[in-house]
Structure 1
Amino acid sequence: MPWKTPDGSPHSARLVFTRQQTVIVRNEFNRFAWKTALEEAGIPTARENGFHMLRHHFASVLLEDGVSIKAVAEFLGHADPGFTLRTYTHLMPSSEDRMRAAIESAWAKGPADGSSALDVP
């Protein structure tokens, strides 16, 4: 990102990938570097193995670990967290498992006052 915080001012940052110390155009990197690496590794150069899939992997790892949609949207540069949710919600396969674990944990702890959760006042 060209900024330290989403609402901050631009600042210079060293690029991870360069070509002769200049910016690599995304399509150029995908076509020459990424696809060449896939071919050398014996991996098909189909769309599902495209470099953009790393972005999806990044988002799915964050969401899987419970990072908020709002934070993931900021990391990805999305202005609307709703867009992020619509795009990546299918990448949260363990959401049901996390939900069950949260409820089980809450019920295992019981009320702070020591009464039964099922006690009727």
Structure 2
Amino acid sequence: MVFGRKRRQRGRYLSAVADRIGARNGVVLRDAFSGGKGANGPLVLGVITLRDGENAEVLQAQIDAAVAAGYAPPRRREANGAGFVHDPGLPMLIIETFAAGTVIPHHGEVPAGRTGVVLSLT
């Protein structure tokens, strides 16, 4: 049961980082772990939310929150996302945003005035 204990510890750590970066701000559509067992790869925490505001503003606010929590500013940023991959002591963080009118896969269309945010912590 050592693996189960390590998985729970890693899950608590990922959840604490998610809290520090405000991953659950807005309306939470999904907050779940995947992987982390045997050949399923590393444990991943995925959080999907709907937030008030325009895509660019919401993305910048999430990037700012990650930087405030200790992540280095992303080297590459796209219109709908950013990644934080090599930050010692912190899990890999991928941010993807969905503007109003676009579809978040398996969760539907983002309503007007909102932005969908998908965060993955590994």
TM-score normalised to structure 2 length? 0.22
Structure having the larger proportion of residues in helix: 1
Structure having the larger proportion of residues in strand: 2
> Which has more radius of gyration?
1
